[in-house]
Chain A
Amino acid sequence: MQTIDLKSGRNELFTDPDPDHAREFFRNKSRALKPKLSTVSKVVRDMISDGDYIAIGGFGAIRVPNAIVHEIVRQGKKNLGFAGHTSTHDFQVLVGGNCISKCDIAYIVGLEARGLSPNARRAVQNGEIQLTEWTNATLSWRLKAAAMGLSFLPARNMLGTDTFNYSAAKEIECPYTGKKFAAYPALYPDFAAIHVHEADEYGNCRVRGATVSDQDLARASKRVVITTERLVPTEEIRNNPEGTFIPFWCVDAVIEVPYGSYPGNMPYEYFSDEAHIKEWLTVEKDPQAFRDFIKKQVYDTKDFYEYLALNGGIEKMSKLRREEFLINGNGGGE
């Protein structure tokens, strides 16, 4: 029988895919139904160490836990590994704080239709961040493999490309069909933060809109922090258990942060603040102006509420709410 030539990607695998190591961690993770209310500064201080591998839920500038992202910068966390899974504004802020030194890339540096982040681009082009290439589906499946408690999943994308060559994927032969597949290592992040619409004090969460990869991210990650638009009584969760998107046993801490995805979009709540995101993109062109800007916006604000107030407060939030519901007849954006 002819054996097929099987290739491997040449770049570094930043995380341990061993499912027994993960089981050993999860064996000791608390699954007690207990209240987990906390604060942004405490969870970032206690749950993220320099050098950890972190992931951010949502989709770059949609349903992002931006209070946590800001606090990571404010507390000066360093040498973090990062899952760049359509990471747009969140990546821009974390690179602005020089927090990331290793990155699994599916999509970074860009902010979709808005253009590219000059500062994040500079950091990557200067070689300041070590990169391993993947794709959006691949990072989804790497998280799914971890959520399943496995060490890898096979799939049929990336084959034959430089995206594969600069990844840490391996080709395998299907034991049933003999076809060539790519094998993707399970991704078990040390820490994940996810912003949701509603959660109870135990961490039972509900999400509306497109869910991206957060169902698997919550299950794959060792420590999970939830920021929520609203805390709700557990009674509400119990009245509709099929609505629970993330269950309590995945979650280590819960923090109520209304408008917590600002300046990102929060589906059915508020639209993105395109003018403010554009301000980030514009000011980044000049490194000194950007240092002043991020100092004012992040380092010198004591918390996320101060950041919201600085950028228009309730009046702005009300405007973004009308935009979300198309009340101005405005489709959003400019």
Chain B
Amino acid sequence: MSDYNDMELMICVAARNLEDGATVVVGTGAPCAASMLAQKTHSPNLCIMFEAGGVAPILPSMPISVGDSRTFHKALLASSMPDIMETCQRGMVDYTFLGGAQIDMFGNINSTMIGDDHAKPKVRFPGSGGANDLASLCWNVMMMTVQDSKRFTEKLDFITSPGYLTGGNSRYEAGLPEGSGPFKIVTNMAVMGFDEETKRMKVLSVNPGYTRQDIQDNCGFELLWADKLEDTDPPHENELRILREEVDPHKYIIGR
């Protein structure tokens, strides 16, 4: 078995979910790396999009901003933010990746603030940016994150981006598009999906080196477990080679 770190595992495992011919809106960092890896392995025609307007670039390196020159390098389209967001709203975007300071059992995400006074937060983060838009309007939302019981919390300080809200049908009753929502959460310990009925987070597979106990101990709410709990297929040799040599040779992301 080859040696790899948490970030490399999460990127390789997330990349396998992006099928050829699909569309994905990404930010900088790990989501961009996962999408590039998918392109260089099983999904050469995965269409990578950036919210500032870049569509289907041939990325020469990792962008620093979701609008910088790299995001439309040899692209098929250099468009606008409303065009990208309206394409999401029209139902043409299959995947997106989000991050955040907190996530709850329904996949709601906080990237706005910690504290209980919005006007004077204890800690202020950037806010939604495009996260709420993508979480609302793309078909499938994914997340890659290191797991701990502070980040995976019972109650968010602020719901920046919608998951399944309070579970069940509440997301669609709120007016969010039918059939959209959180899809997979890839952590250093496990891969989670969501229960079809309750919409609660459910562990689908356990990563090498971790136990059920580790996964629950590092989660601030009670997890559901798949009937047929699987072992996560660890990163393959060729995935790691391409990730290290072609996707992120300067180790901007996998060096973390």
Contact = CB atoms under 8 A, between A and B. Distances in A.
Given A156-B136, A161-B160, A211-B79, A267 B65 contact: no
B159 A159 contact: no
A116 B101 CA distance: 14
A64 B242 CA distance: 35
B1 interface: no
Choose among B69, B78, B162, B250 the residue with the greatest number of A CB atoms under 10 Å from its CB. B69
A216 B82 contact: yes
B72 interface: yes
Contacts of B120: 125-127
A331 B170 CA distance: 44
Interface string A132-159: 0111111011001000000000011111
Interface residues of B, number: 63
B123 A125 contact: yes
A136 B123 CA distance: 21
A171 B123 CA distance: 29
A108 B174 contact: no
A154 to B, nearest CB: 10
Given A113-B28, A331-B60, A59 B159 contact: no
B54 interface: yes
A267 B69 contact: yes
Interface stretch (A73-81, A177-185, A198-206, A310-318): A177-185
Interface in A249-275: 265, 267-268, 271-272, 274
Contact of A155 (B70, B89, B160): B89
Given A133-B112, A162-B160, A209 B72 contact: yes
Interface stretch (B125-133, B202-210, B224-232): B125-133
Interface string A263-295: 001011001101000000000000000000000
A14 to B, nearest CB: 15
Contacts of B177: 156
A62 interface: yes
Contacts of A60: 65, 67
A212 B177 CA distance: 24
Contact of A180 (B29, B89, B118, B175): B175
Interface in B55-69: 60-69
B190 interface: no
A61 B67 CA distance: 9
B159 to A, nearest CB: 4
Contact of B52 (A121, A157, A212): A212
Contacts of A109: 124-127
Choose among A121, A160, A179, A267 the residue with the greatest number of B CB atoms under 10 Å from its CB. A160
Nearest to A88: B65
A159 B129 contact: no
Given A156-B175, A210-B80, A107 B65 contact: no
B174 A326 contact: no
Given A108-B127, A136-B129, A125 B122 contact: yes
Interface in B28-51: 28-29, 50-51
A163 interface: yes
Interface of B: 27-29, 50-54, 60-72, 78-82, 85, 88-89, 108, 112, 118-133, 136-137, 158-162, 165, 170-171, 174-177, 250, 252
Interface of A: 59-62, 84, 86, 88, 105-110, 112-114, 116, 121, 124-127, 130-131, 133-138, 140-141, 144, 155-163, 166, 171, 179-182, 208-216, 265, 267-268, 271-272, 274, 324, 326, 331-334
The 4 closest A-B pairs by CB, nearest first: A331-B61, A210-B53, A160-B174, A180-B175
11 contacts: A105-B128, A108-B127, A135-B130, A156-B137, A160-B165, A160-B175, A161-B159, A210-B79, A211-B80, A267-B69, A274-B64
